[in-house]
């Protein structure tokens, strides 16, 4: 059992929790994830780790309440526990000094990106950051992200805060020369970022979260085509070269269980 020692709401449907898991906290590095299961009949699902505190023995998880399992997780309060939590899984991000880097984050993954940025900053990188969300009320961790950035921009799809849309990423790429790009966020956003940076030939690291069951290489549900080769996000990733990833296939695969998820939600909300 893994106790939730702190919980806060970052936006109407985005929650941040700190979970007691000392052994996991000790080993966690940016880019890695945990697989959790909330109750005896629950499913296993991955969440990217957005921070670890070795002294307190806690890890931080940020998630959007979008399906039955994440809603159940969001209902757990401080003092309550998560039944199972395995990690840190996946390979850590290579956080060396690249020089000038651009970090593009969106949605709940801004937390995990911030974790990357802290370590990348420590390695000596000059960081330009773009944080995006659908609208102003969904932007999270803006002040913290600004703190670790040398240049900082905000963008929303509806223009309610900062610049409007992802289009303006092109401007940034034209204005400045980057040695490397990191992106974490919705898969469709990572796809667009990768397409843009490819035309400027800037190496781009994406962080993928396909459907997973075990998270340790056993099920193969998380297979992703990278450079015409099938790779498992859990043991070969979750970081990949964004220019090599077949995003359309990935996005299609991620929707496979949508009908089942709808059934689960209807039955859950009906109760």
The yes or no reply on residue 219 touching other proteins (CB under 8 A) is yes
Name the residue nearer to other proteins (CB basis): 40 or 143. 40
Within 8 A by CB and 6+ apart from 12, the residues are 137, 138
The yes or no reply on residue 152 touching other proteins (CB under 8 A) is no
Q: H helices within 7-152, ranges in order? A: 22-27, 68-75, 110-122, 142-147
> Residue with structure tokens 């240049």?
151
Q: Whose CA is closest to 156, among 133, 184, 127, 123?
A: 133
Name the residue nearer to other proteins (CB basis): 135 or 230. 230
The yes or no reply on residue 20 touching other proteins (CB under 8 A) is no
Judged by CB under 8 A, the residue of 53, 135, 164, 230 near other proteins is 230
How near is the Cβ of 138 to other proteins at its closest, in Å? 26
Q: How many CB atoms lie within 10 A of CB 124?
A: 10
Exposed e or buried b for every residue in 56-71, given b needs 16+ CB within 10 A?
A: ebbbbbbbbbebbbbb
Binders of other proteins in range 231-260 (CB under 8 A) = 232, 235, 249, 252-253, 255-257, 259-260
Stretch that binds other proteins, among 84-92, 176-184, 186-194, 199-207 (CB under 8 A): 84-92
Judged by CB under 8 A, the residue of 62, 73, 89, 139 near other proteins is 89
**Which two structure tokens, joined as six digits, stand for 186?**
């919705």
Binders of other proteins in range 31-60 (CB under 8 A) = 37, 41-44
**Which two structure tokens, joined as six digits, stand for 60?**
């931080």
The yes or no reply on residue 74 touching other proteins (CB under 8 A) is no
Name the residue nearer to other proteins (CB basis): 24 or 155. 24
The yes or no reply on residue 227 touching other proteins (CB under 8 A) is no
Q: Whose CA is closest to 110, among 75, 160, 58, 146?
A: 146
**Which two structure tokens, joined as six digits, stand for 7?**
């919980």
**Which two structure tokens, joined as six digits, stand for 193?**
């970022």
The yes or no reply on residue 7 touching other proteins (CB under 8 A) is no
> CA–CA separation, 36 vs 84, rounded Å?
5
How near is the Cβ of 96 to other proteins at its closest, in Å? 20
**Interface positions with other proteins (CB under 8 A):** 23-24, 27, 37, 41-44, 68-69, 83-89, 213-214, 216-221, 223, 225, 230, 232, 235, 249, 252-253, 255-257, 259-261, 263-264, 267
């Amino acid at each position: 059992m893994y106790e939730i020692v702190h919980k806060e709401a970052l936006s109407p449907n985005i929650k941040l929790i700190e979970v007691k898991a000392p052994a996991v906290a000790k080993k966690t590095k940016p880019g890695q994830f945990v697989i959790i299961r909330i109750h005896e009949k629950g499913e296993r699902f991955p969440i990217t780790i957005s921070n670890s505190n070795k002294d307190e023995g806690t890890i931080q998880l940020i998630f959007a309440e979008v399906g039955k399992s994440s809603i159940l997780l969001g209902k757990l309060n401080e003092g309550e526990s998560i039944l199972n939590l395995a990690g840190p899984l996946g390979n850590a991000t290579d956080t060396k000094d690249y020089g000038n880097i651009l970090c593009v984050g969106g949605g709940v993954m801004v937390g995990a990106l911030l974790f990357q940025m802290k370590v990348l900053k420590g390695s000596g990188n000059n960081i330009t950051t773009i944080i995006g969300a659908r609208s102003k009320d969904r932007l999270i961790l803006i002040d913290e992200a600004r703190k670790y950035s040398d240049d900082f921009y905000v963008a929303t799809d509806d223009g309610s805060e900062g610049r409007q849309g992802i289009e303006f990423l092109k401007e940034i790429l034209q204005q400045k020369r980057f040695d490397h790009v990191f992106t974490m966020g919705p898969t469709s956003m990572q796809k667009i970022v990768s397409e843009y940076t490819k035309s400027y030939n800037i190496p781009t690291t994406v962080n993928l979260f396909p459907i997973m069951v075990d998270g340790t290489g056993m099920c193969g549900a998380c297979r992703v085509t990278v450079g015409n080769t099938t790779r498992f996000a859990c043991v070969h990733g979750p970081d990949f070269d964004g220019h090599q990833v077949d995003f359309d296939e990935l996005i299609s695969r991620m929707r496979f269980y949508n009908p089942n998820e709808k059934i689960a939600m209807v039955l859950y909300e009906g109760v």
